[in-house]
Amino acid sequence: MTKLDVGGEIVSPPRRRLRVSPRTAWIVVAPFAVWAAARLAGADGAVPLGGVGVALMTGTPYVAATSLLAVAIARAARRTAVIVVAVAASVLLAAVVLPRAAGSAPTATGPPLRILTVNLFFGAGDAATVVDLVRRLRPDVLTTQELTHEAVEALDAAGVARLLPYRHLEDGPGPSGSGIYARHPLSAAPDFVPEGGHHMPRARLALPSGPPVEIVDVHTLAPLNAPYTAQWEADLAALPAASPGVVRVLAGDFNASLDHAALRAVLGRGYADAADATGDGLTATWPANRWFPPLITIDHVLYDQRASAVRTGVHRVAGSDHLAFYAELRLPGRI
């Protein structure tokens, strides 16, 4: 028997790589580079198209994620310049977004302060759900926005006064009203916001122990057009800075995300964002009444940097277009 030796070489066809023209790559990459530059420069409010720039900037987390596609397309173009620009834009966007999912360890050693805030959507938010959240979460403070006269009556009928017996309310028609409910005594403080906006009551909370705490119920105008955007910026600029003699907490519907320069300016006056500090900074809170999940994060609890955030979470309230936001803080031992 003869043994046959079969020789030869197996040849595979070359793998075809995606090729993109440099012109196409630049068209794809340029918007991400412009977006990153605008975000870092805080140029969202400077866009002369009413509230378009402000509205677009809330999408920065989504743009940051999509920028990886731009990097892939730039690599396919095989041009150093477009690759460098794409990578730089992606890295810069990631640097401003990813820390919100990291969180930080609490350092304050004082008593706890629990806050629940909810926008009631023209008073339509289900009062029984809100009171049930108060019963389960046991907040020391409930701040409400878009608190109508009817919503006050509904909350009372649901039993809020038994759980939070103290209140400082500035309820009103439509979206104008707001109100603070508390487990401990409140004393009202003077208003501070410019005329023409929503009510934003503030009050001093007397805790059984720990430093004095001032609560500000925040509800800025939504930046829907140029005049409203100017008022929105004025509302945020009017929010009081942190003060040495009191621990101040700003809680409510800011109609602003951490990607807005106007909100970062508020943080720069001595505050930290509770969701950002606990790693929940990318949890969206609005809109909560659609078939799709909430898209943007505009409800916040900002607290004096001498305090710490321990835990945060969001909760659905039937009838509202916002998720309720809960934050457990740890106050400083002394101020």
Encode pLDDT of 138-150 as tens digits.
999 999 999 999 9
Tell me: do 168 and 61 sit in the same domain: no
Q: What is the pLDDT of residue 335?
A: 76
Count of domains in the chain? 2
Tell me: do 248 and 145 sit in the same domain: yes
Which pLDDT tens digit goes with each residue over 189-234? Answer: 876 666 678 999 999 999 998 888 999 999 999 998 888 898 999 9
95 part of a folded domain:
yes
Question: Of 82, 101, 120, at which residue does a domain stop?
Answer: 101
Question: Of 79, 101, 123, at which residue does a domain stop?
Answer: 101
Query: Which of 125, 31, 131 is CA-nearest to residue 74?
Result: 31
Q: What is the pLDDT of residue 273?
A: 98
Q: What is the pLDDT of residue 190?
A: 75
Tell me: do 124 and 96 sit in the same domain: no
11 has pLDDT over 90? no
Tell me: do 125 and 68 sit in the same domain: no
- CB atoms inside a 10 Å sphere around CB 214: 20
Q: What is the pLDDT of residue 18?
A: 66
266 has pLDDT over 90? yes
332 has pLDDT over 60? yes
245 has pLDDT over 70? yes
Q: Please give the residue that has the higher pLDDT: either 7 or 260.
A: 260
Q: What is the pLDDT of residue 279?
A: 97
Tell me: do 132 and 267 sit in the same domain: yes
Question: Of 101, 124, 142, at which residue does a domain stop?
Answer: 101
Q: Residue 13 — pLDDT band, cuts 50, 70, 90?
A: low
Instruction: Write the CATH number for 141.
Output: 3.60.10.10
Q: Are strands 213-219 and 247-253 parallel, antiparallel or unpaired?
A: parallel
101 has pLDDT over 90? yes
64 part of a folded domain:
yes
Q: Which residues contact residue 77 at a Cβ distance below 8 angstroms, ignoring those fewer than 6 apart?
A: 19, 20, 21, 22, 24, 25, 83
Residue with tokens 């925040």: 218
Tell me: do 144 and 30 sit in the same domain: no
The pLDDT > 90 percentage for the chain reads: 82
Calculate mean pLDDT across residues 103-117: 94
Tell me: do 241 and 323 sit in the same domain: yes
Calculate mean pLDDT across residues 293-306: 97
Tell me: do 71 and 151 sit in the same domain: no
Tell me: do 169 and 259 sit in the same domain: yes
Q: What is the pLDDT of residue 193?
A: 63
35 has pLDDT over 60? yes
Distance CA(199)–CA(186), nearest Å, equals 17
Q: Residue 284, by phi and psi: left (phi above 0), alpha (psi -120 to 50) or beta?
A: beta
The pLDDT > 70 percentage for the chain reads: 91
State the residue range of the domain holding 173.
112-330
Calculate mean pLDDT across residues 19-24: 88
47 has pLDDT over 70? no
Q: What is the pLDDT of residue 8?
A: 54
10 has pLDDT over 80? no
65 part of a folded domain:
yes
Q: What is the pLDDT of residue 53?
A: 85
Q: What is the pLDDT of residue 334?
A: 80
7 has pLDDT over 60? no
Least confident residue range of 94-103, 191-200, 233-242, 280-289? 191-200
Q: Report in angstroms the alpha-carbon separations of 112 from 104, 249, 268.
A: 17, 13, 24
Confidence (pTM): 0.91
